[in-house]
A = this chain, B = another copy of it.
Amino acid sequence: MDEKEDEKEKEKKEGEVDRGDVTGKGGVGAMRLPSLRCAPLLEEKDSLLDERLRRRLAEIGTLRRLPAGTPLQEEGEKAVSILNLVEGIVATYRLSDEGERRILSFHFPGDLIGLLEKGRYVNSARALTPIVAYVFPTAAFLRFLGEHPGVEEAFLAKAHQDLREAEQHALMLARREAHERLLLLLDLLRKRLPVKEGEGGAVVLDLPLRRADIADYLGLSVEAVSRAFGRLEEEGYLRLLTPRRVELLPLSKERVAALA
């Protein structure tokens, strides 16, 4: 949607990307391997994949770069591939019977996209920004899981992480007032997105989402989202530098605890 120049540039070579290629942008030269953004089930062991397994995993997939707005999968479609996001942001969503789009989750680097049931995608997914992702054929991916105990454990932990985050989303939606929901979302984004430190604990956040995306995630109308921003600004939680750039102010003392 934005960053049009980026899109244009890559659209023609949207196919496989040489492993080293991607690192040219942002990487420090190290090759990027599949990874999981995940908290472990038990404290002692962190169930992240070790580098050997990540290398093996990389062999069964292909690294691809896709422009913003790319539809990645459709609800009900036969699931041919599973994505491991390396860079960028993806939204998964469903269309209600009235044709309204309900965003179920945002995905960040280290996430897996491609929840499936009986071989079919459960949700639709779409890149919100230009993305880089490993693409694994579903069958090969699942076979790999079965053959590598320890890997399966890591992905089990990841599924649990996703579950916790879905529950968090439900808690967000259970909030009655629009500005409360928005505050929770902004807090979530602050943890996931790169932030620029401001003075005195304030941070500046560049939102990769349009108002419509936020509305569809929070179960609100775009107008309500807009007013919620206004209200949070009045109450001193933030300042809108531009519609897409927010400065989160520090005085959230009592409300920090509120963000269960």
Contacts and interface: CB of A to CB of B under 8 A. Distances in A.
Contacts of A40: 117-118
Contacts of A163: 115, 159, 162-163, 166
Interface string A49-61: 0000000000000
A212 B117 CA distance: 32
A28 interface: no
A170 B104 contact: yes
A26 interface: no
Nearest to A92: B167
A1 interface: no
A67 to B, nearest CB: 27
Query: On chain A, which size bracket covers the interface?
Result: 35 or more
Determine the main DSSP class of A at the interface with B. Answer: mixed
Contact of A117 (B123, B164, B166): B164
A241 interface: no
Interface in A153-169: 153, 155-156, 159-164, 166-167, 169
Interface stretch (A128-136, A142-150, A191-199, A201-209): A142-150
A30 interface: no
Given A97-B257, A149-B152, A118 B170 contact: no
Contacts of A37: none
A140 to B, nearest CB: 13
A174 interface: yes
Interface in A31-82: 39-44
Contact of A39 (B117, B166, B260): B117
A238 interface: no
24 contacts: A40-B118, A41-B142, A42-B116, A43-B119, A44-B119, A97-B257, A97-B258, A104-B167, A115-B163, A115-B164, A116-B160, A117-B160, A117-B164, A122-B164, A123-B167, A145-B153, A145-B156, A146-B153, A152-B152, A156-B159, A162-B163, A166-B167, A170-B173, A173-B174
